[in-house]
Structure 1
Amino acid sequence: MRTAKSESAGKLGLGIHVLCYVLANVAQVIVWVLYDSEHFFWPMWSIVFWGIGLAFHFWTAMRRPTMKTEY
């Protein structure tokens, strides 16, 4: 069962995950622009695949709790 405390902790964890995602990918794009902009856009792999993981984290943190029956 999800409590209000676990729900707020999940949202805090999601916020930290989003912040890390944005900062890391911005840093990678900056490195790419400064040193390798004439070649393949390699930060795309981190943006796409980490973004998929972030989408799953968002989905699990924001879904409504399901009703469970206990016997």
Structure 2
Amino acid sequence: MHKSEKAMRWGLRIHLLWYIIANVAQVVLWGILTPDHFFWPLWSILGWGIGLVIHFWVIRSKSRSLVRS
């Protein structure tokens, strides 16, 4: 059973929303608590960002395969 294209896009939007919320919160905490230390939110931004790009790529490839079917 395959998810509809609309459901896949909705899931990506939710993923993006939480990516933004969580990483903005980390940057704010870094700015308040340790602004003179290494920018540690970088690891979350990069790691989770890679996951988000993969999520986007999978949805895009599935959307294209649905169009061809």
Same-fold status (TM-score > 0.5): yes
Return 5+ residue gaps in structure 2 as ranges: none
Determine which of 16, 19, 22 is the counterpart of 1:21. 19
Report % sequence identity.
Answer: 53
Q: Which residue of 2 aligns with 1:6?
A: 4
Which residue in 2 is equivalent to 1:48?
A: 46
Structure 1 residue 53: deviation in Å? Answer: 0.3
- Residue 61 of structure 1 deviates from its aligned partner by 1.1
The root-mean-square deviation of aligned C-alpha atoms, in Å, is 1.9
Cα offset for 1:46?
A: 0.1
Structure with more helix by fraction: 2
The 5 A counterparts of 1:32-47 are 32-47=30-45
TM-score, structure 2 normalization = 0.86
Query: Which deviates more, 28-37 or 59-68?
Result: 59-68
Between structure 1 and structure 2, the one with the greater Rg is 1
By relative contact order (CA 8 Å, sep 6+), the higher-ranking structure is: 1
| Shift in Å, 1:48 | 0.2
**4+ residue stretches of structure 1 with deviation over 3 A?**
none
One-letter amino acid matched to 1:21: Y
The number of residue pairs the alignment matches comes to: 66
Give the TM-score of the pair, scaled to structure 1.
Answer: 0.84
